[in-house]
A and B are shown apart, each in its own frame.
Chain A
Amino acid sequence: MRTLFHSIPHTHPLYYVALLATVAAGIGILALLQALPTRLRRPLIALVTFLGGLYYAAEFFIPTGWGVHKGVDGNFLSPYFDKVANISSVLGSFSIGLGVFSLIGMHLRIASRRRESWGFSLMLLISFVAMTIFTLLNEYAGKSVVIPSVAGHSSITNHDIYVVLFNGGLASLDSAMFALIGFFIISASYRAFRIRSVEATLLMASAIIVMLGQVTLGSWLTGGLPSHGPLAFFRFENMSEYILVHLNAPAQRAVTFGLALGVLATSLRLWLSLERGLYFDQE
C-alpha cells in the first residue's frame, strides 16, 4: 500500500482516488466488524489485542542481535516497530472523525433549536469552519492567496487571517486560561492552609518553609545562621531542601512504584483479555 502511494505523485488525481478508496475500505472493514455477532467479535478482539501486545513484549524480551546482521540495532522484530505503531495511529485517526462528528452534531442541534447558550454553539461552529478553511489554505494553497475585499483592493492574504485566528485567537485564549490558574491557586491554597487539623497545620508549615527556601527573603531571614555545623540545618534553604529531597521525594517514589505496578497489572489484564467481562458483559 505504501509503495502504491509512493509511486503516484501527490498532484495526480489517482492519488486522491487511491486515498479515498483506502479510507472507504477501512470504513468497510470497521462496519463489517460492527456487524459481527458479539460471540464472534469477542474472541476476534481478544486475538487482535493479544497479537498486538505480543509484538511489543517479544520485541522487548528477544535479545538484541537475534536475526539481524551485526551492527544493526535491536532484534529481527525491531525494524517493524514503526509500522506496528502506525497501525494504532491509523486506527486512531478514524476515531477523530467520530469526535468531530459528535462535537459538530451536538452544537448544530443546540444552535438550530436555539437552546440555552446557543450563541456559544454558533460561535464554535463559525470558528470551526473558519479555522478549517484557513488552516487548509495555509497548508496546501501557499501563504499568499489574496482574500478579495468588498471595498475593492485588498492586500490581506490567507496567511494573515490564519495568523490572526491562530496567534491572536486560539493562542491568546489558551494563555488566558493558563493565567487563570494563578487565581485558582490562591483560592485553593486558602482552603488547604486553613488550620483545621494536625495535617493542615503540617501542610501549612512545610509549604511556608519550602516557599521561603526558594526565595531570597528566606535566605535573608535566616542569613544570620552559620552555613556549616548543626545550626546550618535551620536556614530556610536547607530545611526546604531537606523537605523536598528527604521527605517529598521518597513519598513520590512510593506513589510511582504503586502506579507503575497498577499500569503493569492493568496492561496484563487487557493484553490477556482477563478483564473482558468488564467491557462486554459481566463475568
Chain B
Amino acid sequence: MEHASDHWSIGIFVAVLSIIILYKIVTAQRGKPPTIRRIAGLNAIDEAVGRATEMGRPILMVPGIGGLDIPALQALNIFGYIGRSVARFGNRTILAVADPQLVGVGEEVIRDAYTSAGRPELFNAEDVRFLSDRQFAFASGVAGVIEREKVAASFLMGAFFAESLIIAEVGQRVGAIQVAATNQFTQLPFFIATCDYVLLGDEFYAASAYLSKNPTLLGSIVGQDYAKLLILIVVILGTLSACGVLMLPAGHVHDLLQRFMDLFKS
C-alpha cells in the first residue's frame, strides 16, 4: 500500500490539486457560473436523437465493461442527459451493461430521465439489459442488440478494451451515428476510426458539465484546468531543471535543480 509519507511531495501535490478543484467548485456555486468551449461530439447528441426518432429506431448506450467505477458513473451521468433528450422525442433507450452492479443504477438513471422529461410511461425496464460480464460474450451481445434493433445512434462511453472495435464496427455497419468516449487511450484510435464523434481525454469528464450547465460541474472543470496549468508549470520547470543538471557544473544551483527533480520522482 502506498502512503503520502512515502513521498510527501506527491501527497502534498495531490492535496493542492484537490484544494484548487474544490475552491473553484465553491466559487462557481456562489458566483457567476463559468462558460466552457464547444464540444462537437456533445452538440451532435440532439441531431443523433432527432434522426433516430425520424427513423423510428432506438438509441443504444453502453457504459463500458469496467464495473461500477468512476468512468461508468461518469458515463451514466451523461446518459442521464441524453436519456432526457430521447424521452422528450418519445423514443426508446437501450442501456447494455456488463456489470450486474450497473443494472440498478442504470435503471434509476434512465427512469429518472424519462420521468423528468414528463414521459415516465415510455420507460421500459427490459431495455436496461445486463448481457454478460465476460468481455467477448458482452461484445457479441451488444453486436446482436445493434443488429437486431438496428439502432440509429449509439453512445459508447466508459472503460472499453479490445471489444471496442467489435461494438463500434457493427454500429458503423448498421449506419448508426456513434459518439464515443473512453478513459483507455489505447482504444481511442479504434473509436476515432469507427465513430462519428470521439470525446478525447478529459472531454469525457467535461461532458456532463457541458450538457447540464450545472455550476458545481462547471466549477469543477475550471478547477481541473487550473490544476492542469499547475502540472504544466511543473513539467516546464522539470524540463528546465533536467537541462540545467546536464549542462551546469556541480555546485549549489546544480544541487537545487537536482533536488527539485527528486521531489517529483516516484
Interface residues of A (CB under 8 A from B): 59-65, 73-75, 78, 81, 92, 95-100, 102-103, 106, 109, 116-117, 120, 170, 173-174, 177-178, 180-181, 184-185, 187-189, 191-192, 252, 254-259, 261-270, 272, 274-275, 277-279, 282-283
CB contacts (< 8 Å) of B25 on chain A: these are: 269, 274
In Å, the complex CA distance between A259 and B108 comes to 26
Selected contact of B70 from candidates A109, A252, A267, A278, CB within 8 Å: A267
Produce 1/0 per residue, B125-161, CB < 8 A to A. Answer: 0101111011111011000100010000000000000
With A254-B201, A274-B216, A283-B216 known to touch, is A184 a contact of B169 (CB < 8 Å)? yes
Stretch at the interface among B40-48, B51-59, B223-231, B246-254: B223-231
Selected contact of B104 from candidates A95, A257, A272, A277, CB within 8 Å: A95
In Å, the complex CA distance between A102 and B102 comes to 11
In contact, A181 and B216 (Cβ under 8 angstroms)? no
Within 8 A of A (CB), among B1-38: 1-6, 11, 14-15, 17-18, 21-22, 25
Selected contact of B100 from candidates A96, A270, A282, CB within 8 Å: A96
CB contacts (< 8 Å) of B68 on chain A: these are: 92
With A100-B100, A259-B202, A268-B21 known to touch, is A189 a contact of B193 (CB < 8 Å)? yes
Report whether over half of chain B's contact residues are helix, strand or loop; otherwise say mixed: helix
In contact, A102 and B70 (Cβ under 8 angstroms)? no
Selected contact of B201 from candidates A61, A78, A255, A268, CB within 8 Å: A255
CB contacts (< 8 Å) of B168 on chain A: these are: 188
A-B pairs with beta carbons under 8 Å apart, 25 shown: A62-B3, A64-B6, A75-B3, A92-B101, A97-B100, A98-B101, A98-B103, A102-B128, A173-B136, A174-B137, A188-B172, A189-B193, A191-B172, A258-B205, A261-B17, A261-B228, A264-B14, A265-B221, A265-B224, A266-B73, A268-B22, A270-B70, A278-B77, A278-B214, A283-B214
CB contacts (< 8 Å) of A274 on chain B: these are: 25, 216
Given pairs A266-B73, A267-B70, 16 additional interface contacts (CB within 8 A): A60-B4, A81-B1, A98-B103, A99-B133, A100-B130, A188-B194, A192-B192, A255-B200, A259-B202, A261-B17, A264-B14, A265-B205, A266-B70, A268-B18, A274-B216, A279-B108
Which residue of B has the minimal Cβ distance to A176? B136
CB contacts (< 8 Å) of A268 on chain B: these are: 18, 21-22, 220
CB contacts (< 8 Å) of A261 on chain B: these are: 17, 21, 202, 205, 224, 227-228, 231
In contact, A259 and B216 (Cβ under 8 angstroms)? no
CB contacts (< 8 Å) of A103 on chain B: these are: 129-131
Selected contact of B103 from candidates A81, A102, A266, A282, CB within 8 Å: A102
In contact, A177 and B18 (Cβ under 8 angstroms)? no
In Å, the complex CA distance between A29 and B6 comes to 40
In Å, the complex CA distance between A274 and B23 comes to 12
In contact, B3 and A266 (Cβ under 8 angstroms)? no
CB distance from A40 to the nearest CB of B (A): 17
With A174-B134, A174-B137 known to touch, is A181 a contact of B205 (CB < 8 Å)? no
> Is B204 among interface residues, defined by CB-CB distance under 8 A?
yes
In contact, B169 and A187 (Cβ under 8 angstroms)? yes
In contact, A256 and B166 (Cβ under 8 angstroms)? no
CB distance from B22 to the nearest CB of A (A): 6
> Is B91 among interface residues, defined by CB-CB distance under 8 A?
no
CB distance from A98 to the nearest CB of B (A): 5
CB contacts (< 8 Å) of B93 on chain A: these are: none
Selected contact of B183 from candidates A78, A184, A259, A272, CB within 8 Å: A259
In Å, the complex CA distance between A199 and B18 comes to 36
CB contacts (< 8 Å) of A63 on chain B: these are: 3-5
CB distance from A23 to the nearest CB of B (A): 16
CB contacts (< 8 Å) of B135 on chain A: these are: 174
Which residue of A has the minimal Cβ distance to B188? A255
CB distance from B67 to the nearest CB of A (A): 8
> Is B208 among interface residues, defined by CB-CB distance under 8 A?
yes
In Å, the complex CA distance between A263 and B109 comes to 20
CB distance from A175 to the nearest CB of B (A): 8
Which residue of A has the minimal Cβ distance to B230? A261
In Å, the complex CA distance between A187 and B170 comes to 11
In contact, A64 and B3 (Cβ under 8 angstroms)? yes
Selected contact of B220 from candidates A61, A106, A259, A265, CB within 8 Å: A265
> Is B217 among interface residues, defined by CB-CB distance under 8 A?
yes
